[in-house]
Amino acid sequence: MKTKFSGILTLFLAFVVQLTFAQEKTISGTISDENGLPLPGVNIIVKGTTTGTQSDFDGNYSINASTGDALSYSFIGYTTKEMTVGASNTISFAMEVDSEALEEVVITALGVERTAGQLTAATKVVDAEELTQAANPNVVQSLTGKVSGLKINTTNNGVNQTTRIVLRGNRSLTGNNQALIVIDGVISSANTLANLAPEIIASTNVIKGAGGSALYGSQGSNGVIIVTTKSGSSSEKIEVSINSSISFEDVAFVPERQTKYGQGWNGVHTSYENGGWGPEFDGTMQPVGLPQADGSYIMAPYSGDSDNIKEFFKTGTILQNGVTLSAGDKTGNVLLSVNNQQTEFVVEGDELNRTTVLFKGNKQLGKWNVGGNVTYNTSSVKTTTSNLFTELLQTASNVPVELFENSGNEGHWTSYYRNPYWMRDNIRNSSNTTRMNGVANIKYEVNDNINVVLNSSVRNFKSYTRNYTNEYIDTIGIGGGDHSTVSQFGQSNSEETNIYNDIFVNFDYMLTDDISLTALVGNNIQDNMYSATSVSGSNLTIPGYYNIDNITGRPNTFNSIERDRRFSLLGSLDLGYKDFLYLSVTGRNDWTSRLADDRNSFFYPSVGLSFVATNAFPGLKKGGILNYAKISGNWAKVGNDRVGPYQINSTLNQATGYPFGGLNSFVLDQTIADPLLVNEFIESYELNLNLAFFKGDRVRLDFSIYETKNTDLVTGITTSAASGLANTTVNVAASTTSGFEIDLGLTPIRTKDFRWDLDLNFATDKTVIDKISDNSDEVALAAFADVGIFATAGEEFPLIKGTAYQRDPQGRVLIDPSTGNPLKTGSFQVLGKSNPDYVVGLNTAVNYKGIRLAAVMDYRTGHQFWAGTKDWLSWSGHLVESADGGRRGFIFPNSAINTGTAANPVYEANTNVITGGTTYANYLDYFSNEYRSVSENFVLDATAFKVRELSLSYAFSKEMLKNVGLSSLRLGVNARNPFTVLPAENRGYADPEIGRSSGNDQGLSVTGQYPITRTYGMTLNLTF
């Protein structure tokens, strides 16, 4: 019996084995991606065995398996697929994108990472490639045009530019409206960001409204820009990358001046006049300027060239070079980056030399993750004064500017203003700054659900500046001109230290299978110290010796110390339901040292909700049109404590001129803050809609609409002099800011080799003042004699107001029949607003194999600005308008006369009353006085269309580089601000984006700013 059985068993076994062997076959096929294109590198494994292979470049594979075996196909970013081997020998299909895995992880407030679906606030990520595509050495400026709702104005258009960064409009009247800057998880400053080399930045995330930045408390009320620097690689070998770029910079345009009349006054030619009120150009050779050192005159044809002042400027260069070494493995990495920038500006002698060293490391040691970075940055800036451009503008168009380079003030082309070449060489400023930042990030995993995070940073900033002016004594004073200059010398030191410390406990739980909970509880401490000392004096005895011993008279001295601290407790709670519904709640309580004890604590809550419709109802995706739909909204209430340290103290100051010998005296401060000051409050509501259409998100639409109610605005109000004060800072005002942004992203063409991305963004914001104070409807932010920037109840903010022509009901200008002069309004009228109606931006990139062509441009309109340059050119006869009509009296166009009485006016069209008199001298008088005193003439349309960046680069492919030993090589050419189109009435007087201060009083474009420049350059990036 047993033998028979075992015999049958053996036979059976053999049969089965043979059956198995007989069924193993080769399975082959093609794997493609979601677009139908071949997907190389897919891992294919026979489940339960070690047999495996990968799909090749064409997506083809072949593997040995038997019928009934399960084959597993996996690839990063795609859902792993299982196929059972059946009768067929071919298995081909398309892999499906794993939407969850591909969702970007975005770093939000306090370094918390969120997926796009969980975000409840409008955010925009700008990646490193976009930031550096035009090699702009200033990271802040390379954000221009790339984020809807972000406006960047340049406030110092020289070799070392400073900027003003505002998200979504001006909420506060006189407080800070600039966005918060966070670098590597700690609060930093725009100054530090502008001095970072662009190459070391990994990503930039812009959170546009208070809804997303409520966790930063009162510092986050204006939105936040979160920057992360690069970390070392984890590829277990040392990577070296070298970045180099050279750019050439020249002046884009100068204000246009008339080319009909040359140097002179009252129609008489005077070779040393700055005014253009001379006789008409006739082309003959005429002397120009004062006699030169040898007694001769520089002769030049008496004809006009409106660009003659451009000759003063040269072509500047910007050189940027950097080396980055990085290394690491799965548990740790390290990065060292050294970058240098050298700029020579369009003005000879204006230079900037800046070096940044960044050392960054990170290591995972069991439950601890320790990381940190140290940045050391040193920069030296040498400049002259941009006021030389103000004096350079006082030049008639017949003057051959270049010929006066060595004439000094004695042989200058005018006796009334200084030679800009002399100013350039004799008015010098230099400043050296050193920045040292250290950041430590330590994380401890208590268990799978809880971890503790510590972020600490110390930032130290030291600055040393020195400036001098050499003396010039005008002994001759031809024509009553006197360009004497008093010599002067000054030096100052300042130091600032900021300490920032965060400590949180993070909780991460799945309450149920569907409900997730993340929470954060923490504390933040900040400590800021600032000190400054300066000394200066005038009338140097020995020329060229710049030391305080050399001053005659008493030196001016100054010293100051400031200290303030902040302490906060904060927490956030995020609940998620499955993968489509998320709730985010945050709360933060700030205590500040700057306000009185009984009112220095403020609570800032926020609530946000996000619903990803396409995850909740996957049926929406059927048909392949709608690929992603998310709706989110948030509400936040944050404060804005823009009261400075010590501001609420009532103090006295040393009186003017004291001490006189042994007599010292103090007088009351005329600017005082209400000792009962509290924080401003901003209550913000935001609704966002994010949609993506077609496979691969070929069409993306993001829409965000918001409104903020700003109350208790801290405003400096002019106080009645009868109270003894000049100015008081109180909480009185209120305003409402509203607007929306639309971002449309398109990828019209995407193939294996060719891809075209197009981003259109549209942003509009409007701030309307609801109230100024109980006693007044208006407060001036900045005011000159005839024009100013105001906040006026019921109007948009900021408002430009100034003197205007009196007009009849039909809008005709009223003329005084007895003098011929137009009548001017007594009080300031509304002349415009400095916030644009909307900004439209276009950001596009075309990639073909290794070639990348990108462009950034934008258009803004609906706003106005006061062109100080036009005012400055008016009285000296350089305006194009003043050269019309033969420079004799004229009938004012569209004007009227009151032929009735003041009580019963009867307005008739003016056909016979001449404005501007009958002689050349009368006309000159009219332009110098009447025309100039009406600011309406100088408030111009601020519309501008700018192409901001053009870049073309070629990245060599890996195959080409294999033999050279490089892992990547990219060459590029770029242009910054190549084209600017301004409306006809703005004859190059100013770029409306250049502001005179970084405060809220935007809209006054004063003289003393250099003209804007264009740059063209080349870049080289390689890694090995």
Partner 1 sequence: MRTKYKFLLLVIFAITVSCSDYLDVNKSPNSPSAEDVTPDLILAGAMSDTYRTQARRMNRLGNVMMNNWGANVNSFTGGFSEEFTLAIDNNFYNDLFTGLYRGTYNFQAIIDYDSADYDNHKAISKIMKSFYLQYVVDLYGDVPYFEAHQGIKNLTPAYDDDRAVYEELYNQVDEAIELIANAGLNTIPVGSEDVIFNGSMSSWVAFGNSLKLRLLLRQRTDATMNGDTESAAFIASKLPELQTAAFLNNNATINPGYSSESTAQQNPFYNYIGFSNNETTATGYNFYRASQYAVTFLINSADDRVNFLYDEADDGSGGVVGHEQGADSDNSPAGLSPIGPGLLIDSAQDGYIMTAAESLLMQSEAQLFGLIPGDPQASFEAAIDASFQLLGANRSGYTPSQPGVGWVGTDSDKFEAIMRQKWIATNGINAIESYIEFTRTGFPDDIPLALTAQSSTRPMRLMYPSDEYISNSANVPDQTSADVFATGPFWAQ
Pick the closer one to partner 1 by CB: 273 or 991: 273
Pick the closer one to partner 1 by CB: 365 or 785: 785
Cβ proximity of 913 and 891 under 8 Å: yes
3-state secondary structure of 443: strand
Taking the complex as a whole, the smallest distance from the CB of residue 807 to partner 1 amounts, in Å, to: 19
Taking the complex as a whole, the smallest distance from the CB of residue 802 to partner 1 amounts, in Å, to: 12
Taking the complex as a whole, the smallest distance from the CB of residue 820 to partner 1 amounts, in Å, to: 13
CA distance readout (Å), 935 to 458, 807, 930, 939 = 49, 15, 10, 7
The phi, psi pair for 1008, rounded to 5°, reads 100, 10
The 10 Å Cβ neighbour count of residue 929 is: 11
Pick the closer one to partner 1 by CB: 371 or 916: 916
Pick the closer one to partner 1 by CB: 132 or 487: 487
Pick the closer one to partner 1 by CB: 261 or 302: 261
Taking the complex as a whole, the smallest distance from the CB of residue 188 to partner 1 amounts, in Å, to: 22
Tell me the Cα Rg of the chain. 35
360 Cβ neighbours under 8 A, 6+ residues apart: 229, 230, 231, 232, 334, 335, 336, 337, 371, 372, 373, 374
Pick the closer one to partner 1 by CB: 285 or 663: 663
Taking the complex as a whole, the smallest distance from the CB of residue 657 to partner 1 amounts, in Å, to: 4
DSSP element (H, E) containing 869: helix 868-874
Rounded distance between C-alpha atoms, residue 277 and residue 919, angstroms:
12
Taking the complex as a whole, the smallest distance from the CB of residue 682 to partner 1 amounts, in Å, to: 23
Taking the complex as a whole, the smallest distance from the CB of residue 940 to partner 1 amounts, in Å, to: 23
Taking the complex as a whole, the smallest distance from the CB of residue 689 to partner 1 amounts, in Å, to: 43
Q: Which residue, among 766, 638, 997, has the nearest Cα to 170 in the 3D structure?
A: 766
Cβ proximity of 820 and 914 under 8 Å: yes
3-state secondary structure of 153: strand
Pick the closer one to partner 1 by CB: 725 or 744: 725
Taking the complex as a whole, the smallest distance from the CB of residue 600 to partner 1 amounts, in Å, to: 7
Pick the closer one to partner 1 by CB: 349 or 794: 794
Helix residue spans in 204-347 (DSSP H): 210-213
Taking the complex as a whole, the smallest distance from the CB of residue 500 to partner 1 amounts, in Å, to: 15
Taking the complex as a whole, the smallest distance from the CB of residue 668 to partner 1 amounts, in Å, to: 6
Exposure letters 980-991 (e unless 16+ CB within 10 A, then b) = bebeeebbbbbb
Taking the complex as a whole, the smallest distance from the CB of residue 262 to partner 1 amounts, in Å, to: 19
Question: Residue holding tokens 């001053």?
Answer: 551
Pick the closer one to partner 1 by CB: 769 or 779: 779
Taking the complex as a whole, the smallest distance from the CB of residue 723 to partner 1 amounts, in Å, to: 5
* Amino acid at the residue 845: A
Pick the closer one to partner 1 by CB: 419 or 737: 419
Write out the two tokens for 759. 């981003």
Pick the closer one to partner 1 by CB: 153 or 568: 568
What sign has the CA pseudo-torsion 887, 889, 891, 894?
positive
Q: Which residue, among 125, 217, 788, 729, has the nearest Cα to 524 in the 3D structure?
A: 217
DSSP 354-418: EEEEEEEEEEEETTEEEEEEEEEEEEEEEE--THHHHHHTS--TT--GGGGTT-TTTT-S-SSS-
3-state secondary structure of 187: strand
DSSP 666-733: EEE-SEEE-TT---EEEEEEEEEEEEEETTTT-EEEEEEEEEEEEEEEEEEEE--GGGT-SEEEEEEE
CA-CA-CA-CA dihedral for 647, 653, 657, 663, to nearest 10: -160
Pick the closer one to partner 1 by CB: 565 or 621: 565
The upper half-sphere exposure of residue 824, i.e. CA atoms within 13 Å in the direction of its Cβ, equals 17
Cβ proximity of 259 and 397 under 8 Å: yes
Taking the complex as a whole, the smallest distance from the CB of residue 648 to partner 1 amounts, in Å, to: 7
CA angle 232, 236, 241 (to 5 degrees): 50
The 10 Å Cβ neighbour count of residue 257 is: 26
The 10 Å Cβ neighbour count of residue 406 is: 11
Beta bridge partners of 455: 441, 502
Taking the complex as a whole, the smallest distance from the CB of residue 976 to partner 1 amounts, in Å, to: 42
Pick the closer one to partner 1 by CB: 103 or 564: 564
Rounded distance between C-alpha atoms, residue 591 and residue 603, angstroms:
9
3-state secondary structure of 926: helix
Pick the closer one to partner 1 by CB: 6 or 818: 818
Taking the complex as a whole, the smallest distance from the CB of residue 448 to partner 1 amounts, in Å, to: 28
Rounded distance between C-alpha atoms, residue 566 and residue 600, angstroms:
10
The phi, psi pair for 161, rounded to 5°, reads -80, 145
The 10 Å Cβ neighbour count of residue 644 is: 12
Rounded distance between C-alpha atoms, residue 618 and residue 515, angstroms:
19
Pick the closer one to partner 1 by CB: 597 or 959: 597
Pick the closer one to partner 1 by CB: 567 or 945: 567
Taking the complex as a whole, the smallest distance from the CB of residue 596 to partner 1 amounts, in Å, to: 8
Taking the complex as a whole, the smallest distance from the CB of residue 661 to partner 1 amounts, in Å, to: 5
Pick the closer one to partner 1 by CB: 666 or 694: 666
3-state secondary structure of 314: coil
Pick the closer one to partner 1 by CB: 291 or 645: 645
Q: Which residue, among 437, 325, 326, 435, has the nearest Cα to 373 in the 3D structure?
A: 437
Q: Is the peptide bond before 40 cis (omega within 30 degrees of 0)?
A: no
